């Protein structure tokens, strides 16, 4: 692994694929075609095929508290990348609603253009940011590149780690992703290295438009540290309906990974038309003394099905899950975590804050399992729900399974609403009801927001308030 960084171009990989799409539908040929288009080596093609064949034997999961319209998997185009997003000529062509949102969030104009899909070739700043960024990382021996590049340049690492935490047999969508994943990010932090900056997909130009089947792999080798940011607080323009991403994290001995997400895909309109289906499998494996912390702020997507999890395999490893999930209008979210305690003295902590408004349905679903060998495992879970309005639903579905008598597991949940008294008090001090709700909701979610890197947290706060507009009468 010392050789990472100076590796040569090996597999005749070509990045100059014509912009084209293949016909709708999924078959072995399509899987082969995707792999060929991406110039992948034979072993990768075989992996994809194996996943595809397994996927054929599976049915979409139905256990979540979600109403999912039937998805015709033969009606989806599985290869459209690396098509650049549709470029708009200028900000004038951008949807006024989207522009208003950007302004409220206080996003710089350049970023607005990039996010809205306006041609950003002229935005030199962000390019230079990217360059300095890459140089700093290279000095430390940190690898941060697209999955396609990684398959080409770091095949040993990919063969060792890809699918090691989320195998293609894991679930329906993980199998689908393993078969057809478009691209994604790969990140490797060598032994003992602390990544000096937060890694964000935003900085990687080819992260944009990676499409619906994104694949992320993060490996923190022994004693390494990295904080990784996924997504962006601004609403991403996206035409894909189905997103089935997989994120795998390997946290080796004494290493630490913080993974933060702000998910704000298109949630559909006020009547519940359109919007992204976000069916994501995220999981990390912790070795001895390792620590993995998931923080997520979920405000977008029409349907969210997502359970970032930790397998605490090594002794003394620690898993954390901090989540704010907000749903409004006709959004549905079924999200939570799994903490699997295998090693001794493993500890986990779950803090989940659900906020439901409008006619939305918001569920926390969690599993805490203490295996027989997990002596002195410890878990604490706190799941709170806040209801705004009488048409929404807030649900909690935890499962606790303990097979070791020295373990201590505690779960608490409460449900509440924003009280008239609180609103009246704020109104009396001159706040509008919307501002008051924003304030109260942010206070409610503070414990989770505090876990986000600072700039992210500020934007997430604004986002929560914004997302609730019009939900309080």
Partner 1 sequence: MELTNRIREAGFRPVAGDALRIDATEPTAFLAENPGTLAVEVAAGCRAQLVVLCGAPTAAELRIVLGTGAALEAAVVFLSEAFAEISVVQEAQSSCRLTTAQFVSSEMRCRIGLEGRGAENELKGFFVAAGTEHCVAEIRTEHRATDCRSDSTVRGVAGGAARGEFRGMVYVAPGAQRTDARQQNRNVLLGEAARIETQPQLEIYADDVKCSHGATVGLLDGEAVLYMRQRGLSENQARSLQIEGFVGEVVSHCGIGPLSGLLTEAVAAKLEKM
- Site residues for partner 1, window 222-261 (CB under 8 A)? none
What is the separation of C-alpha 74 from the centre of its chain, rounded to a whole number of angstroms? 25
Residue from 91, 109, 408, 450 touching partner 1 (CB under 8 A): that is: 408
DSSP 5: T
Evaluate whether 244 touches 173 at the Cβ level (below 8 Å): yes
Q: Which window, 44-52, 91-99, 170-178, 403-411, contacts partner 1 (CB under 8 A)?
A: 403-411
Report whether the peptide linkage leading into residue 82 is cis, meaning its omega lies within 30 degrees of zero.
yes
- What is the bridge-based pairing of β-strands 225-231 and 246-251? unpaired
DSSP 434: H
Using the rule CB under 8 A, is 402 a contact of partner 1?
A: yes
The packing angle between helices 172-180 and 28-37, to 10°, is: 50
Rounded to an integer, what distance in angstroms lies between the CA atom of residue 265 and that of residue 298?
Answer: 9
In this structure, what are the phi and psi dihedrals at residue 458, rounded to the nearest 5 degrees?
-65, -45
Q: Which window, 33-41, 129-137, 332-340, 413-421, contacts partner 1 (CB under 8 A)?
A: 413-421
Q: Which window, 14-22, 134-142, 228-236, 399-407, contacts partner 1 (CB under 8 A)?
A: 399-407
197's CB contacts (< 8 A; 6+ apart) are 133, 136
Least distance from partner 1 to the Cβ atom of residue 425, Å = 18
Using the rule CB under 8 A, is 410 a contact of partner 1?
A: yes
Least distance from partner 1 to the Cβ atom of residue 383, Å = 9
- Nearest partner of 238 among 190, 275, 183, 198, judged by Cα: 275
Instruction: Return the number of the residue (163 or 398) whose C-beta is nearest partner 1.
Output: 398
Rounded to an integer, what distance in angstroms lies between the CA atom of residue 184 and that of residue 186?
Answer: 7
Evaluate whether 260 touches 296 at the Cβ level (below 8 Å): yes
Instruction: Return the number of the residue (87 or 403) whose C-beta is nearest partner 1.
Output: 403
Using the rule CB under 8 A, is 217 a contact of partner 1?
A: no
Instruction: Return the number of the residue (245 or 383) whose C-beta is nearest partner 1.
Output: 383
In this structure, what are the phi and psi dihedrals at residue 444, rounded to the nearest 5 degrees?
-60, -35
Using the rule CB under 8 A, is 424 a contact of partner 1?
A: no
Residue from 126, 415, 422, 442 touching partner 1 (CB under 8 A): that is: 415
Q: Which window, 88-96, 127-135, 235-243, 409-417, contacts partner 1 (CB under 8 A)?
A: 409-417
Least distance from partner 1 to the Cβ atom of residue 240, Å = 31
Using the rule CB under 8 A, is 399 a contact of partner 1?
A: yes
Mask for 42-81, x = binds partner 1 (CB under 8 A): -----------------------x----------------
Instruction: Return the number of the residue (113 or 407) whose C-beta is nearest partner 1.
Output: 407
Using the rule CB under 8 A, is 452 a contact of partner 1?
A: no
Using the rule CB under 8 A, is 472 a contact of partner 1?
A: no
Evaluate whether 264 touches 463 at the Cβ level (below 8 Å): yes
Instruction: Return the number of the residue (18 or 390) whose C-beta is nearest partner 1.
Output: 390
Instruction: Return the number of the residue (266 or 364) whose C-beta is nearest partner 1.
Output: 364
- Site residues for partner 1, window 379-398 (CB under 8 A)? 385, 387-398
Using the rule CB under 8 A, is 312 a contact of partner 1?
A: no
Instruction: Return the number of the residue (44 or 387) whose C-beta is nearest partner 1.
Output: 387
Instruction: Return the number of the residue (99 or 395) whose C-beta is nearest partner 1.
Output: 395
Angle ∠(213,218,220) on CA atoms, nearest 5: 175
Sign of the Cα pseudo-torsion (415, 418, 419, 425, in order): positive
Residue from 113, 176, 350, 409 touching partner 1 (CB under 8 A): that is: 409
Using the rule CB under 8 A, is 156 a contact of partner 1?
A: no
Instruction: Return the number of the residue (126 or 415) whose C-beta is nearest partner 1.
Output: 415
Least distance from partner 1 to the Cβ atom of residue 283, Å = 22
In this structure, what are the phi and psi dihedrals at residue 395, rounded to the nearest 5 degrees?
-135, 150
Evaluate whether 76 touches 26 at the Cβ level (below 8 Å): yes
- Nearest partner of 181 among 231, 157, 217, judged by Cα: 217
313's CB contacts (< 8 A; 6+ apart) are 285, 286, 287, 342, 343
Using the rule CB under 8 A, is 416 a contact of partner 1?
A: yes
DSSP state letters, 435-464: HHHHHHHHHHTHHHHTTS-HHHHHHHHHHH
Three-class SS of residue 94?
A: coil
Least distance from partner 1 to the Cβ atom of residue 451, Å = 23
Q: Which window, 7-15, 108-116, 407-415, 450-458, contacts partner 1 (CB under 8 A)?
A: 407-415
Total length of the chain: 473
- Nearest partner of 338 among 378, 390, 377, 282, judged by Cα: 282
List residues near partner 1 by CB under 8 A: 65, 370, 372, 385, 387-417
């Amino acid at each position: 692994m010392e050789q990472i960084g100076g590796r040569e171009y090996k597999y005749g990989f070509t990045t100059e694929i014509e912009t084209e799409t293949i016909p709708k539908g999924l078959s072995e040929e399509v899987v082969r075609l995707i792999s060929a288009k991406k110039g992948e080596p034979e072993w990768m093609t075989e992996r994809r095929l194996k996943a595809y064949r397994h996927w054929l034997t599976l049915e979409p999961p139905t256990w979540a508290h979600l109403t999912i319209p039937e998805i015709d998997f033969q009606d989806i185009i599985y290869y459209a990348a690396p098509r650049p997003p549709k470029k708009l000529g200028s900000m004038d062509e951008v949807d006024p609603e989207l522009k208003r949102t950007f302004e409220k969030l206080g996003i710089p104009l350049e970023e607005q253009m990039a996010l809205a899909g306006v041609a950003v070739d002229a935005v030199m700043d962000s390019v230079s940011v990217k360059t300095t960024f890459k140089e700093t990382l290279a000095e430390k021996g940190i690898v941060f590149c697209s999955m396609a590049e990684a398959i080409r340049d770091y095949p040993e690492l990919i063969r060792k780690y890809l699918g090691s935490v989320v195998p293609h047999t894991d679930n329906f969508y993980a199998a689908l992703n393993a078969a057809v994943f478009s691209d994604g990010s790969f990140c490797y932090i060598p032994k003992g290295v602390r990544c000096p900056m937060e890694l964000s997909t935003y900085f990687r130009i080819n992260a944009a438009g990676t499409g619906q089947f994104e694949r992320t792999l993060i490996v923190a080798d022994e004693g390494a540290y990295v904080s990784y940011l996924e997504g962006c607080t601004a609403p991403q323009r996206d035409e894909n309906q189905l997103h089935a991403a997989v994120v795998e994290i390997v946290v080796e001995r004494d290493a630490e990974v913080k993974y933060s997400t702000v998910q704000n895909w298109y949630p559909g309109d006020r009547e519940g038309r359109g919007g992204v289906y976000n069916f994501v499998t995220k999981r990390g494996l912790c070795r001895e003394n390792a620590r993995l912390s998931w923080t997520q702020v979920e405000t977008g997507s029409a349907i969210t099905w997502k359970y970032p999890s930790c397998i605490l395999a090594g002794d003394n490893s620690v898993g954390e899950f901090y989540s704010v999930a907000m749903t409004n209008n006709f959004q549905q979210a079924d999200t939570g975590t799994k903490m699997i305690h295998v090693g001794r003295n493993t500890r986990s902590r779950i803090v989940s804050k659900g906020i439901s408004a409008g006619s939305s349905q918001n569920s926390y679903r969690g599993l805490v399992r203490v295996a027989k060998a997990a002596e002195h495992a410890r878990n604490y879970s706190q799941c709170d729900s806040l209801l705004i309005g009488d048409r929404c639903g807030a649900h909690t579905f935890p499962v606790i399974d303990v097979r070791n008598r020295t373990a201590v597991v505690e779960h608490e949940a409460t449900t509440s609403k924003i009280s008239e008294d609180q609103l009246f008090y704020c109104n009396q001090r001159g706040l509008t009801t919307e501002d008051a709700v924003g304030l109260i909701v942010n206070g409610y979610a503070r414990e989770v927001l505090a876990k986000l890197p600072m700039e992210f947290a500020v934007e997430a706060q604004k986002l929560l308030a914004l997302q609730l507009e019009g939900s309080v009468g």
